[in-house]
Amino acid sequence: MVSAPDQPPRPALFLDRDGVLNEDPGYVYRWEDFVWIPGAREAIAAFNAAGWWVFVVTNQSGIGRGYYTEADVQKLHVQMGADLAKAGARVDAFYYCPHHPEAANEVYRHPNPPNRKPNPGMLLQAIAEFPVDLARSLMVGDKDGDVEAGLRAGVRGLKFTGGNLKTFLEGELR
């Protein structure tokens, strides 16, 4: 991840991962289990072309629960980035929260993790690292907590209920 504080502010598209970018059968951390949501790569490419920042903000409690490691998530995000590049798209930064109030691993246990959505920590981190135009930015998630995290960070939220992500977001670039 490379921050860009010296650039002028741009709108940002904050995207939840599981259920928005990829199908969510539960605890996806291996590339062989990763399946893109229809239109996800194309949506990211369209927002890239329009000059928006694109950030992934994803709760990953499977780390705290001991199902997989931070290295597994980081590896998956690298593979996502490589696959996006083939489609002419990119994510400017990936943020994930491994913490959970009931994490099996004490290192990841926190009663109310500030980065775990619906808390806005991951969005606030991106906003601190990149010049984001909050008024024009958007958080897209498949859960009410995703939308709430956006609102708590000062960003409008949309709930994605399935289908083609590019089609769902087309009106946002007009």
Please report whether residue 62 resides in a domain.
Answer: yes
Is 152 exposed, middle or buried (CB count within 10 Å of its CB: 0-12, 13-18, 19+)?
A: middle
Asked if residue 2 has pLDDT above 70, the reply is: no
Domain that holds residue 42: 25-98+107-135+146-173
pLDDT at site 1: 47
Say yes or no to pLDDT of 171 above 60.
yes
Instruction: Single out the catalytic residue among 16, 72, 83, 144.
Output: 16
Is 72 a catalytic site residue? no
We report the CATH number of the domain holding residue 94 as 3.40.50.1000
Q: In the sheet where 138-141 sits, what is the strand order?
A: 93-97, 53-59, 12-15, 138-141, 156-159
Q: Is 16 a catalytic residue?
A: yes
In this structure, is residue 165 part of a structural domain?
A: yes
39 annotated ligand-binding residue: no
Question: What backbone phi and psi angles, to 5 degrees, belong to 126?
Answer: -60, -40
Is 8 among the domain residues? no
Tokens of 90: 């990119």
Q: Is 167 annotated as a binding residue?
A: no
Residues 150-172 have a mean pLDDT of 97
100 is in an annotated binding site: no
What is the total count of domains within the chain? 1
Round to whole Å and give the CA distance between 138 and 159. 11
Q: Give me the pLDDT at residue 6, please.
A: 79
